[in-house]
Amino acid sequence: MRIAAIFAATAFCAGCAIKPLPQDVTGNDTYRIVEKIRCETRDAIRSFILGELDKQDRSLADALRNGTLTFAELNRYRQKLSPEAQTDFDKYDQAAIAYDFTFDITEKNNVSAGADFLRTFSRGPLTLGVAGSNERQRQNTRNFRVTDSFEELVTKVSDGYCTDRELAPNYVYPITGSIGMVELVGTFLDLNQSGNLAGPKDAPNVPQVADTIAFTTTFTASTSPKLVLTPLAKGFEFTGVSLSADASRSDIHKVIIALSLPPEKQKTIKAARASAKAAANNMIDYQVYRNLTNRGFIVLPGT
């Protein structure tokens, strides 16, 4: 019965997460995942700023790269840039980005066991089989939103906050590595600079872009040891035992990312930043609605 004891212990350990969480398998909790994506976005925006400064004033770009000038101090030197560049910097300072995260995690652990008994009579054998099973499933869905303005990311998200993070793609759990923010930010800037970027039907004059990214990782494992004993034809005998177990975990990590400019010119920086964040959040709501309708769900007004 030692086999049964070892297997039972293994099956128990595989299902010891009462509430499945991302860090159980990725090594990154919710805070760390958000931190990585915010920092990747910050670095993407900074890279485009440096690219523009390379054209306008290479000394400013070099000072930012070598750390003698911080991005928070850059505003003091904007007058050195061309009027067109200053206009662009002013326009995108209050642009907003919103992230809608959904972590949907399901764990399953199933164990079954059976035993066989034999009693031999003069007119033939009597066999008896006994079996039992245990099936467990745990599911957790976590959903939340985070919003930033471009200026907040560039000037207030520090290098200390962004240390010790994975810069390359993670092909097992992609949400914990680079997810391609430089491409998304670049697309937003390029389409907006071309003058062709529009918003959804209810706000067509507000330039916006959104991505819905979903990563699914599923692991499964199973084992089915079996022990068969040769009967000795002595009374009621135990002749064999079989065990089977399977475990699986599915992680669906989804993030909807929306970028938006302020809907209209605001009187204050604070108002512009707030209106851009509201527009980005509205764009996420629109993406959620589109995703549901594309899957055949009917969304009733007010629900």
Which pLDDT value is given to residue 12?
A: 44
Q: How confident is the model over 24-37, as pLDDT tens digits?
A: 999 999 999 999 99
Residue 271 inside a domain? The answer is yes
Which pLDDT value is given to residue 10?
A: 40
Residue 38, token pair as written in the block: 């915010």
Which pLDDT value is given to residue 151?
A: 93
In this structure, are residues 60 and 89 in contact, taking their beta carbons and an 8 Å threshold?
no
Which pLDDT value is given to residue 201?
A: 65
Q: Average of pLDDT values for 134-153?
A: 93
Residue 301 inside a domain? The answer is no
Residue 170 inside a domain? The answer is yes
166 backbone φψ class: left, alpha, beta (φ>0; ψ -120 to 50) = beta
Q: Which of 93-102, 164-173, 181-190 has the lowest mean pLDDT?
A: 164-173
Residue 160 inside a domain? The answer is yes
Which pLDDT value is given to residue 205?
A: 65
Residue 164 inside a domain? The answer is yes
Q: How confident is the model over 68-94, as pLDDT tens digits?
A: 999 999 888 888 888 888 888 888 988
Q: Average of pLDDT values for 240-264?
A: 91
Residue 56 inside a domain? The answer is yes
Residue 69 inside a domain? The answer is yes
φ and ψ at residue 230, rounded to 5 degrees: -80, 125
Q: Residues 6 or more apart from 42 whose CB is under 8 A from it?
A: 153, 154, 157, 162
Residue 302 inside a domain? The answer is no
Angle at 279 between CA 273 and CA 281, to 5 degrees: 105
Tracing tokens 């890279």 back to the chain, one arrives at 47
Alpha-carbon radius of gyration of the chain: 29
In this structure, are residues 21 and 29 in contact, taking their beta carbons and an 8 Å threshold?
yes
Alpha helix segments (H runs only) across the chain = 2-14, 23-26, 30-56, 58-66, 83-93, 150-156, 181-193, 269-294
Higher pLDDT, 289 or 251: 251
With a cut of 90, say whether residue 241 has pLDDT above it.
Answer: no
With a cut of 80, say whether residue 65 has pLDDT above it.
Answer: yes
CA–CA separation, 275 and 185 (whole Å): 19
Which pLDDT value is given to residue 227?
A: 84
Number of domains the chain contains:
1
Kindly report the pTM of this predicted structure. 0.81
Query: Predicted confidence band at 133 (pLDDT cuts at 50, 70, 90)?
Result: confident
Percent of the chain with pLDDT over 90: 46
With a cut of 50, say whether residue 2 has pLDDT above it.
Answer: no
φ and ψ at residue 54, rounded to 5 degrees: -60, -30
Taking the CB of residue 30, how many other CB atoms lie within 10 A of it?
A: 14
Query: Predicted confidence band at 194 (pLDDT cuts at 50, 70, 90)?
Result: confident
Residue 200, token pair as written in the block: 């959804």
Q: Average of pLDDT values for 273-277?
A: 89
DSSP string, 176-232: GS---HHHHHHHHHHHHHTT-----TT-TTS-EEEEEEEEEEEEEEEE--EEE----
Q: Which of 23-32, 130-139, 260-269 has the lowest mean pLDDT?
A: 260-269
Write out the residue range of the structural domain in which residue 284 sits: 2-294
Query: Predicted confidence band at 122 (pLDDT cuts at 50, 70, 90)?
Result: low
CA–CA separation, 303 and 293 (whole Å): 14
Strands 226-228, 236-260: pairing is antiparallel
